[in-house]
């Protein structure tokens, strides 16, 4: 029996499915969160002339969102959907890194690591004051 090597087509198939299902799952979670939110807040009147910024660190925000999503809070579920939508292409970049490592294509490994570093720096500076 011949053992097949995990190839580029396998990674392309996995990456394609990751992107496809990642978008559908994130949209579904956000949609369900929207329905839950509207069921509880359909008569609320929002004042959009005032913007409130939260001065919390990323760990507090993630903890609040996680706890809210577990409790079925609509706003938290919407935010989880947005986070999943953001993570979908990030996971695609990570999968590409492993693909390039298996192919021993070190130029693209370096380029992919630079992209990952840029994403990490962007997220870090986005939550710092």
User: According to the model, what pLDDT value does residue 26 have?
Assistant: 95
User: Residue 49 domain-assigned?
Assistant: no
Check pLDDT > 60 for residue 122: yes
| pLDDT attached to residue 1 | 46
How many domains is the chain built from? 1
Query: 92 in a domain, yes or no?
Result: yes
- Average pLDDT in the 69-77 region? 90
Domain membership of residue 1 (yes or no) is no
Is 4's pLDDT higher than 70?
no
Spatial contact of 46 and 28, defined as CB atoms under 8 Å apart: no
**Average pLDDT estimate for 31-48:** 83
Look over the chain and give the mean of its residue pLDDT values, rounded to a whole number: 83
Q: How far apart are CA 125 and CA 102, in angstroms?
A: 32
**Residue range 23-38: average pLDDT?**
93
Residue 43 above 80 pLDDT?
A: no
What pLDDT, on the 0 to 100 scale, is given for residue 54? 66
Residue 105 lies in domain? 16-41+56-126
Phi (first) and psi of residue 69, to 5 degrees = -65, -40
Domain presence at residue 47: no
Tell me the C-alpha distance between 25 and 19, whole Å: 10
Residue 11 domain-assigned? Answer: no
Assigned domain for 115 exists: yes
**pLDDT at residue 112 is higher than 90:** yes
**Does any domain span residue 61?**
yes
Give a yes or no: residue 37 inside a domain.
yes
């Amino acid at each position: 029996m011949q053992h097949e090597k995990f190839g580029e087509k396998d990674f392309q198939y996995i990456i394609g499915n990751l992107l496809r299902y990642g978008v559908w799952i994130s949209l579904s979670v956000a949609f369900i969160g929207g329905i839950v939110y509207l069921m509880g807040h359909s008569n609320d009147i929002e004042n959009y002339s005032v913007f409130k910024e939260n001065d919390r660190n990323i760990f507090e925000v993630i903890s609040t969102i996680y706890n809210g999503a577990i409790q079925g809070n609509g706003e938290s579920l919407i935010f989880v959907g947005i986070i999943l939508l953001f993570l979908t292409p990030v996971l695609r970049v990570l999968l590409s890194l492993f693909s390039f490592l298996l192919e021993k294509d070190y130029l693209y490994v370096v380029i992919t690591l630079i992209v990952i570093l840029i994403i990490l720096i962007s997220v870090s500076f986005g939550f710092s004051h």
